[in-house]
Structure 1
Amino acid sequence: MSQPFWKTKSLEEMSAAEWESLCDGCGKCCLAKLEDEDTGEIHWTSVACRLFNPKTCRCRDYQNRLAKVSDCVQLTPENVRTLTWLPSTCAYRLVAHGEDLPDWHPLVSGDRQSVHRAGISVKGRITASESDLDEPEDYFDHMLEREP
């Protein structure tokens, strides 16, 4: 039996469809994160991007997100190796570092809902949308003690 593509190809060698399929749909990258200016430490919040659909854990306008959300970051083979805020469970990060995908990842389980059943996604844990908050200080009320 042949190996799955994420074990045989580098991120740069993957097709667009393979690259997109690495996303497990957890929604963690769509949460607002606060960076401590002194230490560089990342603090997670339960505030979602204004385009985030909390029911599906997907972007409402994925194709146009970069034009509509000025601080949306398009993941690339280059930046997934250096972005400090990617979740520890992120498939892009795992594969970039030569690690395998966990059993709950949809590419392994064959089920798009497995990430939610495993409690890895932010489904049911969003407390606000960035469009609901007026001031930067408002995010502090939604800070999490650790990565979701």
Structure 2
Amino acid sequence: MTDKTRPFWETTPLDQMTRAQWESVCDGCGRCCLHKLREDETDDVLFTDVACRLLDTETCQCSDYAHRQSRVQDCITLTADRLADIDWLPPTCGYVLLRDGEPLPWWHPLVSGTPETVHEAGISVSGRVISERHAGMLEDHVIDWPGEAPRGAFCRTRPRRR
């Protein structure tokens, strides 16, 4: 396959993508929109099932993406430069995979052609999280799965249904 027939995410370095290309690398899983805690003694990241108040916990879409940083003080803009220093993105994150030279899996919307596959594959947070507006203490919501990849998450082709 020549570079002209390969998809842009296989030929364009992250730091050279257009804004539209960069945005499309996001799979829409919502895992980065979950609150995390940092362990004081070990500096380990602890994931929670508590979502940013702007995240729609069913669709995994930000309800005010254009203004999120003015509404949520600690919301960051992910850039190729910042990607190297961030240790709390999930292992299934498209930005992490491309940064590390890995292919995008079958469920990624750029590969599948539909945003629904991220939910079908069990990658998204849809239906598994609570809004920060209703959560209470973050320490009561520490969980492991947002920092882990579900079985079969890195398959290049869709698994057969049984």
Of residues 65, 89, 93, the one that matches 1:86 is 89
1:139 maps to what in 2?
Answer: 138
* 3-state DSSP of counterpart to 1:56: coil
d(CA) in 2 for partners of 1:133 and 1:3?
44
Task: Give the CA deviation at 1:118.
Answer: 0.2
**Unpaired segments ≥5 residues, structure 1:** none
d(CA) in 1 for partners of 2:98 and 2:144?
26
The one-character-per-residue Cα deviations of 1:16-71 (angstroms, maximum 9, x if unpaired) are: 11000001010000000111011110111000001111121010000000111000
List aligned pairs for 1:89-100, cutoff 5 A.
Answer: 89-100=92-103
Q: Structure 1-normalised TM-score?
A: 0.92
Q: Percent identity?
A: 49
Question: C-alpha root-mean-square deviation of aligned residues, in Å?
Answer: 1.2
d(CA) in 2 for partners of 1:100 and 1:52?
27
Task: Give the CA deviation at 1:145.
Answer: 3.1
d(CA) in 2 for partners of 1:130 and 1:22?
26
d(CA) in 2 for partners of 1:83 and 1:61?
23
2:9 maps to what in 1?
Answer: 6
- One-letter identity of the residue aligned with 1:141: D
Task: Give the CA deviation at 1:140.
Answer: 1.6
Q: Structure 2-normalised TM-score?
A: 0.85
Residues 35 and 52, structure 2, Cα contact 8 Å, conserved in 1: yes
Residues 23 and 91, structure 1, Cα contact 8 Å, conserved in 2: yes
Residues 81 and 93, structure 1, Cα contact 8 Å, conserved in 2: no
1:116 maps to what in 2?
Answer: 119
Task: Give the CA deviation at 1:133.
Answer: 4.4
- One-letter identity of the residue aligned with 1:68: R
* 3-state DSSP of counterpart to 2:111: helix
**Unpaired segments ≥5 residues, structure 2:** 149-162
d(CA) in 1 for partners of 2:57 and 2:83?
24
Of residues 48, 51, 57, the one that matches 2:51 is 48
d(CA) in 1 for partners of 2:9 and 2:15?
11
Q: Which runs of 4+ in 1 moved over 6 A?
A: none
2:74 maps to what in 1?
Answer: 71
The one-character-per-residue Cα deviations of 1:54-90 (angstroms, maximum 9, x if unpaired) are: 1210100000001110000110011112200011000
* 3-state DSSP of counterpart to 1:59: coil
Q: Aligned pairs, how many?
A: 144
